[in-house]
Structure 1
Amino acid sequence: MSAAVGRAVPAYFHPALDPLAWDRLARAALGSGFVVLNVADGPGSEPDPVYAATVARLRRAGAPVVGYLDTGYGDRATGEVLLGADRFREWYGVTGVFLDRVAAGPEGLDRHRMLVALLREGGADRVVGNHGTVPDPGYAALADVLVTFEGPWREHRRHRPPEWVRSLPVPAVCHLVHSVPAPVTSALVAGRARRAGAGIVCVTRAGGANPWDRLPLGIG
């Protein structure tokens, strides 16, 4: 993968199930990217000591970590999202957030603006918003990173972002690309994403309901 492209790693698998993968992740150079910590669709209901030790090792290695918080396309109660952010910070020392299932239409802007403001007031120092598609341009001012594509390679090949996305700083745009067939290299996918304005990319051959249950290509 090009050194100019950061790596996003949605690590949706427990360290106890694959400790070697997490060891490789701690040694990986992610550049402007990040690791998404997802204990149990968020921080879980109580601290997990295995995750705590693993995250501490990642942080010592300098790996940027953000905590997974589902916003339910704006339908999840704001208090629940804020509680999740507090738990990530208190239990794991993680101050960045990865907001999943963020609304993309203009009708969700006001609610999302309020949520992000409250998260930042609570100490969130990096906000990643996963829309999974190109959102209304108003969302660009609310997050540090916008995920403007999440989907299979066959769709990524046809992805044509609007000019306003291309005009953003490249570390502010992320693509998550799964179901990449074996003949296609991670460098090829990353190069295409970079030409589409994305400076952070995740590339995996996995597919199905959870393509993020293993390390992506190019790690370790």
Structure 2
Amino acid sequence: MSVRRWLAGAGVVALAVPTAACGDAAPDAATPDATGTPAASATSVAPSPTESSPSPTTANPPILSGDRQVTIVRIDSFESGLSLTDERLVEVVGDKGRQLFVPTPVDGQTFLIRSYRGAGGGPGTGEPVCWQVQNPGNSKPLVVQGAECRESEPRQLFTIAPNPENAEAFLISNNSAFLRNSQNNGLIMEELGDAAPTDSFRFNDNGPAPSSL
């Protein structure tokens, strides 16, 4: 046998071996089987956890955002609005005292009620004072007076809540004592026990709160 014919024969054998090896190889996992159905992947991907949506919260209306100043009128009053005079919180028909108020949120429905001068209280709005419950003593009812604003003072933290019987009005309270009108003592703060509040108040928007806030 010549050397040339042996090399040619060896080349045929060498080509035949890889061909047989390819025929014996296992099918790729991602290759469709004979029925045309893709083979299952060996690695499963865990689904991404779904973030829970935050619980909806009930926001205060814009008039109670702390960015608006308001006048406050008792629902059953006759042409009179609330005014913080040098003595106490009263109802007036004229422009006496501080008649512009800025309910400033502290937590939820708890507010500081900042008081500004009205038209008859001198030029400009002036520095605010805050509502504060005061016990005058001598068995007299609690009243609201003006004091330096302090968020840490519990007597200045008022709850302003919608009146469930009147969508346009609010109930004002401090530590379970509600603001109401008394025939003999005017505006007072009184604990009502199980009785329903007798007075509610309308807040009238008077534009942006003073910049000094």
The two structures share one fold, judged by TM-score above 0.5: no
Normalised to the residue count of structure 2, the TM-score between the two structures is 0.22
Task: Determine which structure has the larger strand proportion and give its number.
Answer: 2
Which protein shows a greater Rg? Answer: 2
Normalised to the residue count of structure 1, the TM-score between the two structures is 0.21
